[in-house]
Structure 1
């Protein structure tokens, strides 16, 4: 039985072997699994939660790496579909301690997880899971947008919506507030930092406000 389902983006994160180095000067990277769904499902599994990921990867070596990594962490990958066309997206990171970590996404014109459709997972099993985590980035494109909203509305347990506001990933950033409000209406808990909450403008019963080094406020 699944304790938690995490729905959203997943890919590979390439972290530089050299810190405090501009991206153009980096000579080597170490590969990890990243993205909202990859990070959250891994974290839950490490805490002993029976977590499943609902997403897509490409039909290539990076996609195989993501699957193997997640399975080694104990994540249920039955609903990690394989996209026959779009490759697994890489994200390049810079490391400037203590608090600057610029990232460069490669998700244009689309990415496998934005092609997520209802046929990629068992809707009843997802609806019956005690916890469902969804991400705002999944609303940036169709068919992931409609698939995510439908899964949130159908879910019978506790639904958590992370705003995950990344303007560079939206073709039409102005549509974010309305879509975020639609998703928040189907959620029991909304998570976001101060910038994300301001951008979304949502009014929800329970908000977890992330405040960086100042902690979080509920």
Structure 2
């Protein structure tokens, strides 16, 4: 698999200091998945960008449902998996690298989870993403990459924590009941377009928080 052009990678260089970016993909009509998976929307450049952004981060934030559906394994940097229920297979390859689990104080299996992962307790009943990100920062993980799913990204955006959105726009029309890239409360988050790239019929958009 060929590498991405150096000038494209330079577009995605992290600024100094703490930074939280999300990398997502959507169809032309706003669907976040095709036939239940995000990968069905992308092209080769999208796959390469997905792989390239990961080692730029100190940690990857991802929801437990996305881990199950997309069959996540070990990543090049620590994984921070968000799960209120801790309904996870602790024998899966994901836990070979002792990931981070972000959960709530009343989650079941909390003691068991601590045997297999570094646990950050952030909130009760619902995940407090501000506390979760603060916990990651205390571990020295300040350059963060969110890979979804929509509920996790919605929580991050609602907490005012999203600095950058890397969005691949697919030319596919999906229709149906596919989710959008953000699920949760209504938002009034303004973002500014920082860069646009094109590869065939796919667009690679980069938005940053409006100042």
Q: TM-score, normalised by structure 2?
A: 0.38
Structure ranking higher on relative contact order (CA contacts 8 Å, 6+ apart): 2
Scaled by the length of structure 1, the TM-score of the pair is 0.37
